Structure 1
């Protein structure tokens, strides 16, 4: 049976690439985000007819997240796949010594709380069925330090902790939970992220980008991340749970 998948932050970049891969493989995708125009553009790019829908939702608001899941259940009677892709950098250039306390709170709300609440809402429907696939988007920054991205790095490590804990809780009940840790990926927000991170270090942007691309020698593509998603939600991925899969050209090597 083709899956019904919900992708938060699914209107662009990695999220949209994941949605397109699932739709191209015959699945039904529900993409969420905060911009109606981006939602319309995403549906046009997906070109999947009634197997694709955009539902506006702010992932930092628990009621929005719950509503997204409930609306999916109303329309499709089930949710097979949850991809928590909503997130981002709220503190470019912020070092721990001088970071604004609100920046850390905002980073946790955007990256960790959004993932936590979406998992909880989806599990209410996955657990009774005894089936589900949850993928949480961490980052290379979830495995290494990154000066100038203190809040982002802290929260991406937290997502891995959440993933491993949740896998211990639900894998025996038919639900796999994994994290993906992409390296520098060719999306629109990467130049701003890197530029902000190195502002206080005096580093050259191109040198920083080259450093974080590892042995691959180029940025990761969104389609490569989507390929990992396709594997994890396939029958061949049923024995993989609690992992934090690096997609970074060999930079982290674990």
Structure 2
């Protein structure tokens, strides 16, 4: 008896290429503001479920924070790029403070709506929000011990991605970590069935599925990343694009 073949891509969509032409609803300048705010609020839950930042903090950030804490009495500094509703930098600030580290976090976003929302929440010591591009901070001559981003890379065009990575190298004297989704049919199906339907009244499900289709695979990132950058896979269906500055 011939075994039945089960399709790993029941959607029929082509996941062999980035659907970079798609545009997420929350990126539209005229999208409904109340729905956008609910989306920002729900990101805190979604990112807890899928973004893996606790693992990133424990493996990549805390060891470096320990080293900096022992070497200097000055606070360490972190730049979060494309901070959206601000839940990831808030979580990083909380973990660092709980571990006894001094960490000053600057969270930037190009979208004034995101900055206004994040700034409207209760203030958190050591965390500030600002509307800016990474290039603005390069022009100001700023530098940070850490640079992070979450779900930013898939929003960018090829020239924008190249500029971000160049800015990251110029701005960072330590560790850069750009975390994003990894495109796959399984990730798309899992999000659509297991996570997306729970978040109503927002753009989470629709934009989340578009985000997966727009995202890079690990081999694609490795192919376009400049020399010195490293691509790692992280469960579930995620990539980390990292850079370590030369301390000499």
TM bucket normalised to smaller:
0.3 to 0.5
Q: Which has the higher strand share?
A: 2
**Which structure is larger by alpha-carbon Rg, 1 or 2?**
2
Q: Which structure: greater helix fraction?
A: 1
TM-score computed with the length of structure 2 as normaliser: 0.43
TM-score by length of 1: 0.42
> Comparing both chains, which one has the higher relative contact order based on Cα–Cα distances under 8 Å and sequence gaps of 6 or more?
2
